[in-house]
Amino acid sequence: MTRCLGRRRRDCYWLMYASCLFGAIWWLETTLISRIETGNASIPNKLPNADDTNSQRGSEKLKPDIKRGLRLRNATDSYRPEKPRVVQSTTPNQCTEKTNFVYIKEIKCASQTLVNVFRRFGLERNLSFVTPIGKKIYLGWPWLIQERYYRPSKTDKFNILCEHAIFDERLMRKLMPDDVVFIASLREPFAQFKSMFNYYAFQDRYCVPDGFHMSKNLMAYNLGFPTGYLPGQADKSSDEAFIADFLSDLDRTFHFVVIVEYFHESLILLRRLMCWKLTDLIYLRKNVASYSFKADMDPDLVAIYRKWSPVDYRLYDHFNRTFWKRVAETTPDFREEVEHFDRVTDDVNNFCRDVSAGKVANGSFLTLHDSKWNKSFRVDKGLCETLNAELLKRIQSEWDKAQPKMKQPVPDKEFC
């Protein structure tokens, strides 16, 4: 405890956690109240530290990232060539906009930023959402999604599923049109764990039932991997053949996986795949936490966590490789478009921050001029408010107003 003198309580706990990891990894499984030793060593593959929305990337950082990605062109991991590839056009009017998609919302993987983009996209087009019942925010998570966990559709099918849910391909295909696009986001697992630790502190287990492990193979679990938590489900995290088949199945099913460490690169690839406008992707930076151990990627601790959460690492490593294959296959102006989106994002965030601070006169707006990738558009106070709003509540409220006599299902389990 003498090492904790003069430190903040959270830093003290973080230091205590390192000794627990090194001494007895099982203690992590049973208590989750621990901390990791601080240090400035970098992760072996030199991935950048990931914010919940890693968007402040200048061109000087982008060039080596892409160069590193091109070196992965000969990776031997499986990749599905027959699946729809990233659209090669740079302008959205050269293809048909896709409006039917499922996004598996991973915790602390830029998910809140992404779902805000997806909700705004759907609201602007009057699309149908798979919406949690009542005032709930989950679609049954961490249980498998059931019909009683969401509001009925106004029509036969839904357009968008983007709230917290465990991936269930059979059920989700029943809910969605035939041309549904499956999307997910992943983050370097140890960085994700630290972000979750800072957010939850693993003391206040908000919305997390007893016996559920947030620290072990969580991203894989959300994508449907059996960890032994659900009734009648065996833990397959040590079954190499099963893991390989699991990755192969995901590769065949998911059209795109966002890599959080390369967030803007991911958004541009997503825009090209979905044939969306650049303006569909604008967002405000939120939940970008700052904490003392954020940059700590001690190789020894990373190695220990890799053993503790092996399926998440297999998952992340696999889709990181396929991500860079897609970068290598896209058009030569890809880097230029990412840098343009960097500037647009900065401009929008700076303007909306000034609006919130009362520094902008009523009726003022920001004009973003024509470019190779977007038509001229305006950002005003109303758009800033929409970008900053809690859109799930709006979606639920609009459903209630449109279906005042339709009864909502009653869940059979407790969840948020």
So what's the pLDDT on residue 295?
65
DSSP 377: E
Burial letters 127-146, b for 16+ CB under 10 A, else e: bbbbbbbeebbbbbbbbbbe
More confident residue, 54 or 117: 117
So what's the pLDDT on residue 413?
73
Q: ∠ CA 134-139-145 to the nearest 5 degrees?
A: 130
| pLDDT band at residue 408 under the 50/70/90 scheme | confident
d(CA 272, CA 277): 9
Question: What would the pLDDT profile of 62-115 be if each residue is shown by its tens digit?
Answer: 333 333 222 222 222 332 333 444 444 445 457 999 999 999 999 899 999 999
d(CA 166, CA 169): 10
So what's the pLDDT on residue 5?
38
What DSSP line would sit under 199-264, residue for residue? HHTTTS-TT--TT--SSSSHHHHHTT--BS-STT--B-TT-HHHHHHHHHHHHHH-SEEEEGGGHH
Per the document, the length of the chain is 416
CATH topology (fold) of 45-402: Rossmann fold (3.40.50)
Which ranges of 98-183 would DSSP assign to H, the alpha helix?
111-124, 169-175
Question: What would the pLDDT profile of 162-198 be if each residue is shown by its tens digit?
Answer: 999 999 999 999 999 999 999 999 999 999 999 888 8
d(CA 69, CA 100): 29
First-to-last alpha carbon distance for the chain, in angstroms, is: 37
So what's the pLDDT on residue 63?
36
Domain boundary assignment for the chain: 1-38, 45-402
Question: What would the pLDDT profile of 192-229 be if each residue is shown by its tens digit?
Answer: 999 888 877 655 566 788 778 888 999 999 999 999 99
Quick check: 323 pLDDT over 50?
yes
| pLDDT band at residue 287 under the 50/70/90 scheme | low
Assess contact for 321 and 75: CB atoms under 8 A. Answer: yes
